[in-house]
A and B are shown apart, each in its own frame.
Chain A
Amino acid sequence: MNNFIVAIIILAVVIVFSVINSIYICSVCDDITALIDQNKLDEAKKLWEEKKDYISYFVRDAEIDVVSSEAEAIGSDTPIEDGEAVGMRFREAIGEIKDTEEFSLTNIF
């Protein structure tokens, strides 16, 4: 019976942790996307740098690297016309992470 109680606790913790974590990562991705849409690329980059370490516990390194390299391209000396393109690529890379984490039938199947 003790094993049963331990199993129930582990199951509950795993499910709650996974759901909360997915929601959190999706909300971070939404925040970054919103900043990019408002053309606040530096703030988006800063937010990514803050959350990157945490997100890397749950997302494949390859996807983290793609977003990081796009974030690296953002700088104060980026020309405006290039800035839009950089922002779009950054947005797409963040969107990939959100797509991976989002709870949807498409992702499950």
Chain B
Amino acid sequence: MTITVVRAFIFYIMLTAMMKLMGKRQIGEMQVSELVTTVLLSELAVLPVTDTDIPILHGIMPLLLISSIEVIVSLISQKSRNFRVFLNGEPIVLFENGRFDEDNLLVARISTEDVEAQVRINGFKDLGEVQRVMLERTGKMSILPLDSEAMPNQSGE
């Protein structure tokens, strides 16, 4: 039991340090690679903490490796637009000028009802008030009103 407690403490410190190194953003703002890294890190930490049969280095080494790769990938994607697009994709138009883009909806696996719901959540009555709905790289939908003066308070959630 003491070993588990000590290991948990070590992993807490390690993960905190690695998260600080990566400069984590909020979950809703994560890019694909950041999300993958976060999920992997949590899984990597759990196994050696709970299973004392596993050497602690089996958790620490991959943790260090993945964190450092994430930092390097982030920097490369910041410098290179092509790499950024390859890794995280580009914003796509889901609805424009009164028409849904069926191809993009299929690619994003989002239904028309989801778009309509998001429009209502953002304070519009219906799609008639909207010029364009885009799916951003973060997974959030951004909505451009038909009449920019009639723009409601958009939470972006």
Contacts and interface: CB of A to CB of B under 8 A. Distances in A.
A57 B68 contact: no
Interface stretch (B25-33, B53-61, B102-110): B53-61
The DSSP consensus for interface residues of chain A is helix
Contacts of A3: 21-23, 71
B57 A8 contact: no
A14 to B, nearest CB: 5
Contact of B55 (A8, A10, A56): A56
A20 to B, nearest CB: 12
B65 interface: yes
Contacts of A7: 21, 67-72
Contacts of B69: 7, 11
A10 B68 contact: yes
A18 interface: yes
B8 interface: no
A61 B72 CA distance: 34
B64 interface: yes
B125 to A, nearest CB: 46
Nearest to B69: A11
Nearest to A10: B68
B121 interface: no
B75 interface: yes
Interface in A56-80: 56-62
Contacts of B53: 60-62
Interface string A1-45: 001101110110111011000000000000000000000000000
13 contacts: A3-B22, A3-B71, A7-B21, A7-B71, A7-B72, A10-B64, A10-B67, A11-B64, A11-B65, A11-B72, A13-B64, A17-B61, A57-B55
Interface of A: 3-4, 6-8, 10-11, 13-15, 17-18, 56-62
**Interchain residue pairs A-B with the least CB separation, the first 9:** A7-B71, A7-B68, A11-B68, A10-B68, A61-B53, A4-B75, A14-B65, A14-B64, A10-B64
